[in-house]
Amino acid sequence: MSIISSSYPIIRKILFSIDAETAHNLTLFMLNKTYKYNFLRKKLHSSINLPSKIMGLNVKNPIGLAAGLDKNGECIDALGNLGFGFMEIGTVTPYAQNGNQKPRIFRLPKANAIINRLGFNNHGIEKILDNIKNNEWQKNDNLLGINIGKNFNTELKNAADDYTFCLKKAYPYADYITINISSPNTKNLRDLQNTYYLENLLTQIKETHKELVDNYNKYVPIALKISPDLINEEIEDISTLLLKYKIDGVIATNTTISRKKIETLKNHDQLGGLSGEPLHELSLNVIRRLKSLLGQEITIIGTGGIISGQQAKEKIEAGANAIQIYTGLIYKGPSIIEECFNLIKENININ
């Protein structure tokens, strides 16, 4: 166990004593500082090795960092040293935006959960690409995904313009690109999951993607990130389009607007997306449904509510080819990566 993992209960107590967003920013700042001054230069978890494939790409292990923790790609190398097999930055929009009014992150410690209504706050695609151009993570043959979205003031009818703009910008630098249409914190964004909007979006994404493949002579996979609040018919419709347009992966799932299991807890009534342990079963159900509809055709990345290795194992058993964590890292610290790895390695044959 690393020094960070063993001391995390103390670190968490300090972080949880201050505002959640301030704690988030402080954590990234300190990780970067410790990495810069060589405290994290040696791999903390070099033993986490379980070669796998996601969307046709090789990864050292199937445990990824979900988008949202490092929105602006400012902490890639330091986070990479924690033991992840792949990482995803963003969500990134064409132009910088501040997101929703603060406070906008709320902890629910009794439920190992968080509610956020950040609203795609980020520095914009151009600035973020400057941040990631010289990262060591990718130079060492590790995968970096870029999660893209639309600006808050872009109308749904023009949403595809924002996504294709980001796709073109990110393509030379990303190992895969995720189309985020499922955050509950950008007004009407989830309407893009409806068949009418989604078919139009995927048509333009695939046309642009084909041009980029030809221009750069390389294939960068595309994934779609979906909501846990979809009904079965909606999952079926989305799956049909994923197959029709030969999308490479689906990330299941984003945060939920449901408040089941937390109705009595402080902050349960805050607006925003709920992540953490209460999300696990919702996400699991979507993964099972996707697996039954997609089979082996499309990579499924399971995320949402992984607070323990057992939950990671359940995601894989439900049909996920890989997992991503975020809120679990906040509550458990870096030890959750090795915990997930051990249960997956012992119980699941990934390939």
Query: Is 327 marked as a binding-site residue?
Result: yes
Query: Is 69 marked as a binding-site residue?
Result: yes
Separation between Cα atoms, residue 294 and residue 240, nearest integer Å? 9
Strands 143-148, 176-180: pairing is parallel
Nearest to 119 by CA among 134, 135, 104: 104
Query: Is 303 marked as a binding-site residue?
Result: no
Catalytic residue ranges: 183
User: Quick check: helix, strand or coil at residue 211?
Assistant: helix
The DSSP output letter for 49 is -
CA distances in angstroms from 26 to 19, 20, 62, 92, listed in the order given: 10, 10, 28, 21
Separation between Cα atoms, residue 172 and residue 162, nearest integer Å? 17
Query: Is 159 marked as a binding-site residue?
Result: no
Query: Is 49 marked as a binding-site residue?
Result: no
Separation between Cα atoms, residue 303 and residue 184, nearest integer Å? 16
Query: Is 341 marked as a binding-site residue?
Result: no
Query: Is 68 marked as a binding-site residue?
Result: yes
Separation between Cα atoms, residue 215 and residue 130, nearest integer Å? 21
Query: Is 27 marked as a binding-site residue?
Result: no
Query: Is 56 marked as a binding-site residue?
Result: no
Query: Is 200 marked as a binding-site residue?
Result: no
Q: Which residues are annotated as a binding site for substrate?
A: 71, 116-120, 180, 185, 254-255
Q: Which residues are annotated as a binding site for FMN?
A: 67-71, 91, 147, 180, 225, 253, 276, 305, 326-327
Q: Which residues are annotated as a binding site?
A: 67-71, 91, 116-120, 147, 180, 185, 225, 253-255, 276, 305, 326-327
